[in-house]
C-alpha cells in the first residue's frame, strides 16, 4: 500500500480538473492505497455537497460519486484559512471532511506521492 496525496485548488469553475482529481483519488483508494485529498483555495467550496452534486465535466463524469467514495474510504482535508476566508467552519463540514493546515499538507507530502490539480 502506498500513500497518495491529491491537492485540489480549483473549485466549481473548473469542473474538469476537480472531477479528475476525485476520480483518480477514487481509483487509488479502491486499489487499497492510503488516500488524502487536500482542498485549498476555491476547492473548499466542495464542502457544500449540494454544490458538488451539480459539478460535471464534459465527458459526463460527475464529481459527487467520486467524492463520496473518498469520504467513506479516504481522508478529505480542508485548508483552514481558505475555508475561513469563504466563511466555512468546522461545523459546516460534512462527514469525512476535516479542517487542516499547510503544515499538515507538507507533512503528508513528505511521505506521499503527490498530485496537484
| Three-class SS state of 9 | coil
C-alpha to C-alpha distances, 26 to 30, 89, 90, 91, nearest whole angstrom: 6, 25, 24, 25
Task: Please choose, from the candidates 52, 58, 72, 61, the residue with its C-alpha nearest in 3D space to the C-alpha of residue 8.
Answer: 52
Give the torsion through C-alpha atoms of 7, 92, 100, 12, to 10 deg. Answer: 20
pLDDT in tens, 89-105: 999 999 999 999 999 99
103-112: average pLDDT: 97
Q: Where are the beta strands (DSSP E) in the chain?
A: 3-8, 34-39, 75-79, 97-100, 113-116
Domains of the chain by residue range: 3-116
All three cell numbers of 81, joined, read 484559512
Confidence at residue 19, expressed as pLDDT on a 0 to 100 scale: 98
Which residue is listed with cell 460534512? 94
Least confident range from 50-54, 69-73, 98-102, 111-115: namely 50-54
109-114: average pLDDT: 98
Confidence at residue 86, expressed as pLDDT on a 0 to 100 scale: 97
pLDDT in tens, 26-65: 999 999 999 999 999 999 999 999 989 999 999 999 999 9
Q: With cut-offs at 50, 70 and 90, classify the pLDDT of residue 111.
A: very high
pTM of this prediction?
Answer: 0.95
CATH number for the domain running over 3-116: 3.40.1260.10
Amino acid at each position: 500500500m502506498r500513500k497518495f496525496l491529491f491537492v485540489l485548488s480549483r473549485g466549481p469553475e473548473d469542473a474538469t480538473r476537480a472531477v479528475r482529481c476525485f476520480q483518480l483519488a477514487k481509483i487509488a483508494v479502491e486499489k487499497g492505497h492510503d488516500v488524502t485529498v487536500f482542498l485549498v483555495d476555491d476547492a473548499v467550496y466542495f464542502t457544500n455537497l449540494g454544490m458538488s452534486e451539480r459539478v460535471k465535466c464534459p465527458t459526463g463524469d460527475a464529481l459527487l460519486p467520486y467524492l463520496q467514495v473518498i469520504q467513506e474510504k479516504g481522508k478529505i482535508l480542508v485548508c483552514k484559512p481558505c475555508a475561513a476566508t469563504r466563511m466555512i467552519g468546522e461545523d459546516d463540514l460534512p462527514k469525512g471532511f476535516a479542517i487542516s493546515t499547510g503544515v499538515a499538507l507538507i507533512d503528508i507530502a513528505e511521505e506521499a506521492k503527490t498530485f496537484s490539480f
